[in-house]
Amino acid sequence: MLRRFLIGFIILFLGFSVLPQAQKAEASTISKKQLIIVNKKINKLAFYENGKLVKTYRVATGRTSRLTPEGTFYIREKIKNRPYYKHNIPGGDPRNPLGKRWMGLSKQENGGYPYAIHGNANESSIGKYISGGCIRMHNNEVIELFKKVNIGAKVVITTSKKSFNQLAAPYYKNIDISAPTFSYVSPVSDKSNEVSGITEKGATVTVKIGSKKIIKKADSKGKFKVTIGKQTAGKKIYLSAKDPSGNISKTKIVDVKDKTAPVVSGVNNNAFYNKDVKITFNEGTATLNRKAIKSGYVAKAAGKRTLVVTDKAKNKTTVVFTIDKTAPVIKGVSNNAFYNRDVTIVFNEGTATLNRKAIKSGYVAKAAGKRTLVVTDAAGNKKKIVFTIDKTAPVVTGVSNGTFNMDVTIS
């Protein structure tokens, strides 16, 4: 009998001595499953469960770096609509600075909780350094987090440049901390409408052009294609990728290449060989064949010539032009005919009406006499004509006594 009593007592004693350890082990297990990280450098909170990032939230922290303490804490208490005892504001009151949910933090798993993660009556304060030490959240978001977080969950508060996954890595095995990369990005030119490439499968690709952002998700093989519209040569396109674990790649910069051939103007006849001629193309205005132009060279022989213009990007345009050495041929200028509206001047390039101002006004010279007309064609060839404006009425002879015979001549 005594022996049975002693055995029972020993079993009961061992049970009581093991119980606290079991509770502590249970709390530790919960801590390993759930993890909250608050990074004061960016004022954001990340919630992890079973080694996976569930969601991130914007928060507000202490007015100074010391007010929100850093280190490892635990969720020790969860209260809905906690009263604000300091000013006797009841829970659920819109004025309550603790908001609609309150999760007390403790430095130890079974310690007190001077700080908390809670909602807030001033939604505009979220994201700022403004609190007396607690971590504030939007009311709708703290309600969401409150439902998911268990008592005993570990909370890490820090100020760091590291990503949330890098901060969470010591607490979970095999957590993904590798940022995605771009194994391939297609070249982009001023004739392209899209940029494509390959990155980590399922990653979200962000393409930034100036102030514009375009977001596209890579497929199961990591391939992506983003429509960007035509861009000007020399413009920079910035690409980044964020994988499902929240890791962000380094920015990939793509320069828009020039694939547009130069547009050439100002080359006609032998104009290219004159000193002051300029060739205009898409990079701006430049004088080409500088050596020939500076030397004042003019081609001696008439005929066709070929000009090849190459821009800075080595795009080429070929222009065929003619060197003209033939002076213009002029017709229709006699007496005062040049001053009549319907007179046209014909020369070897075609038909053109010269001295348009005089012709349109219907001007006829008032004074008789010689005039000189100088016509210059597009190639600089000139033709000079001297003509007479005649104001003298004709002298009629051979008409007398009312006789007008067919044989009469008029001079």
Query: Residues 389, 367: contact at Cβ < 8 Å?
Result: yes
- CB neighbours of residue 120 within 10 Å: 24
Query: What is the spatial distance between Cα 186 and Cα 102, in angstroms, rounded to a whole number?
Result: 51
Query: What is the spatial distance between Cα 309 and Cα 362, in angstroms, rounded to a whole number?
Result: 46
DSSP 361: T
- Here the tokens at position 168 are 């969470």
Query: What is the spatial distance between Cα 43 and Cα 359, in angstroms, rounded to a whole number?
Result: 80
Q: What angle do CA 198, 200, 206 make, to 5 degrees?
A: 75
Residue in 118, 154, 242, 252 annotated catalytic: 118
β-pairing, 71-80 vs 154-158, is antiparallel
Query: What is the spatial distance between Cα 80 and Cα 221, in angstroms, rounded to a whole number?
Result: 45
User: What does the DSSP assignment read for 174-203?
Assistant: T---PPP--SEE--EETT-SEEEEE-STTP
Considering only CA atoms, give the Rg of the chain: 46
β-pairing, 284-286 vs 279-281, is antiparallel
Q: In a 3-state reduction of DSSP, which class is residue 2?
A: helix
Residues 6+ apart with CB under 8 A from 155: 35, 36, 37, 38, 72, 73, 74, 75, 105, 117
Largest CA distance in the chain: 185
Is residue 118 part of the annotated active site? The answer reads: yes
Query: What is the spatial distance between Cα 121 and Cα 228, in angstroms, rounded to a whole number?
Result: 43
Query: What is the spatial distance between Cα 398 and Cα 115, in angstroms, rounded to a whole number?
Result: 133
The dihedral formed by the CA atoms of 114, 117, 119 and 125, expressed in degrees to the nearest 10: 90
Residue in 134, 153, 179, 264 annotated catalytic: 134
Query: Residues 341, 359: contact at Cβ < 8 Å?
Result: yes
Q: In a 3-state reduction of DSSP, which class is residue 98?
A: coil
Helices marked H in 345-404: 356-360
Q: Which residues are catalytic?
A: 118, 134
